[in-house]
């Protein structure tokens, strides 16, 4: 691990949930393979891939949009929209990657000159680009569902690790930023769904 990789990881892991700048939020990092990390914070509506190459830090956000299976007309419309968005947001760009030509948002940062302010600007550009693409491509409903599913998944994971109700409420109100009322209602729905699933699985054992 070189100095830039260590510095970027420290920027992401340290911070507070009340931070104003995206880089100062305490992101959860998971190393997928050497020099490649997945970073998440429940207040951010995207999962961030951070990849370190010899000269650059690459930030990638999957849009969850496969274009290979689209008709020619649909694909041209999507590509036209993304190219126009590329021209409207500084730093970031939309790219295609993978066997299914999945759409990614991407920023490439030069390691030799990278500072914390530039890194934060890159994260901000990715957020603006993501929200612009969701709006322009009419993905609001599926995007909202994806964000909701991510939050529910984080709650369930904490429950499986033995988190108390108080800890779960603190996660939803402090980290996610929900009101006490909404957090309590969501937690109740998750508990009800899990209890219902457990009941179905136990049928036939008694």
What's the distance, CA 112 to chain centroid? 26
Let me know if 58 is exposed, middle or buried by CB neighbors in 10 A (0-12, 13-18, 19+).
middle
Two tokens, residue 184 = 């309590």
Neighbours of 79 (CB within 10 A): 16
- Contact between 56 and 109 under an 8 Å Cβ cutoff? The reply is yes
pLDDT of residue 204: 42
- Blockwise average pLDDT, block size 10, the chain, 206 residues: 92 90 93 95 91 96 92 94 87 92 95 95 92 89 82 87 90 84 88 71 41
Side-by-side strand order, sheet with 28-33? 28-33, 36-40, 48-52, 56-66, 102-110, 93-97
pLDDT of residue 30: 94
Sequence-ordered strand ranges (E) for 27-85 = 28-33, 36-40, 48-52, 56-66
Neighbours of 50 (CB within 10 A): 22
Neighbours of 57 (CB within 10 A): 22
Two tokens, residue 31 = 């190393």
| Residue pointed to by tokens 């880089």 | 23
pLDDT of residue 197: 64
Strand, coil or helix: what is 164? Answer: coil
Two tokens, residue 38 = 């997945």
Task: Please check whether the domain covering 3-138 is classified as CATH 2.120.10.30.
Answer: no
∠93-44-12 over CA atoms, to 5°? 85
* Global confidence as pTM: 0.79
pLDDT of residue 10: 95
Task: Identify the CA nearest to 123 among candidates 94, 91, 88, 83.
Answer: 91
The C-alpha atoms of residue 33 and residue 86 are separated, in whole angstroms, by 29
Q: What are 10-17's contacts with CB under 8 Å, separation 24+?
A: 11/116, 11/119, 12/39, 12/50, 17/43, 17/174, 17/175
Strand, coil or helix: what is 87? Answer: helix
Task: Identify the CA nearest to 9 among candidates 62, 57, 61.
Answer: 57
């Amino acid at each position: 691990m070189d100095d830039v990789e260590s510095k970027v990881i420290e920027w992401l892991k340290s911070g507070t949930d009340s931070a104003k700048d995206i880089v100062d939020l305490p992101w959860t990092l998971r190393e997928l393979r050497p020099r490649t990390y997945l970073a998440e914070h429940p207040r951010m509506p995207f999962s961030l891939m951070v990849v370190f190459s010899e000269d650059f830090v690459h930030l990638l956000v999957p849009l969850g949009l496969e274009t290979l299976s689209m008709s020619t007309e649909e694909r041209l419309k999507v590509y036209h929209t993304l190219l126009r968005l590329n021209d409207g947001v500084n730093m970031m760009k939309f790219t295609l990657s993978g066997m299914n030509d999945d759409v990614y948002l991407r920023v490439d940062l030069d390691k030799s000159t990278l500072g914390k302010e530039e890194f934060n600007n890159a994260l901000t550009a990715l957020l603006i680009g993501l929200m612009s693409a969701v709006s322009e491509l009419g993905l609001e409903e599926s995007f909202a569902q994806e964000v909701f599913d991510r939050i529910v998944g984080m709650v369930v994971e904490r429950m499986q690790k033995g988190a108390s109700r108080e800890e779960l409420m603190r996660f939803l109100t402090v980290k996610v930023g929900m009101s006490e009322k909404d957090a309590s209602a969501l937690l109740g729905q998750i508990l009800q769904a899990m209890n219902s699933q457990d009941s179905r699985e136990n049928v036939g054992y008694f």
